[in-house]
Amino acid sequence: MSLSPGFETLDFHFPGGRPAGAFAPVLVGVPGSGNLELLFEPDDGPGCTVRIETSARGFGPIWAAVLADFHRRHPLSGLRVSIHDLGATPAVVSLRLDQAAAELRP
């Protein structure tokens, strides 16, 4: 975990599961709304990596729980997730993750 002024950066990795396959980057959310912006990109790695930049410091365990729940429902591999958060609730984070995952389905 590294800290930049005003933001906390959190990194997570989940083991491989179902390959996400080839896809164009998927962007959901609007950071300027007090919500969050989430980007799914293909990755050459065997698992799923997540990087979060958040203005809400100290919520690492909550982020870990939300992401673990997402990965249980969508065990994707070959996926890089970038999240820019401006204080979204866990329910909104889950909604945005599900929206992006739905874009990956053929």
Number of domains making up the chain? 1
Read off the pLDDT of residues 55-65 as tens digits, 9 standing for 90 and up: 888 999 999 99
Range of the domain at 24: 2-104
Residue 13 and residue 49 in contact, taking contact as beta carbons nearer than 8 Å: yes
In SS3 terms, the chain reads as: CEEECCEEEEEEEECCCEECCCCCCEEEECHHHCCEEEEEEECCCCCEEEEEEECCCCCHHHHHHHHHHHHHHCCEECEEEEEEECCCCHHHHHHHHHHHHHHHCC
CATH number of residue 7's parent domain: 3.30.230
The pTM for the full model equals 0.89
Q: Region 27-53: what's the mean pLDDT?
A: 88
Residue type at 78 in one-letter notation: G
C-alpha 24, offset from chain centre: 16
Q: Return d(Cα 22, Cα 24) in angstroms, integer.
A: 7
pLDDT at 31 over 90: no
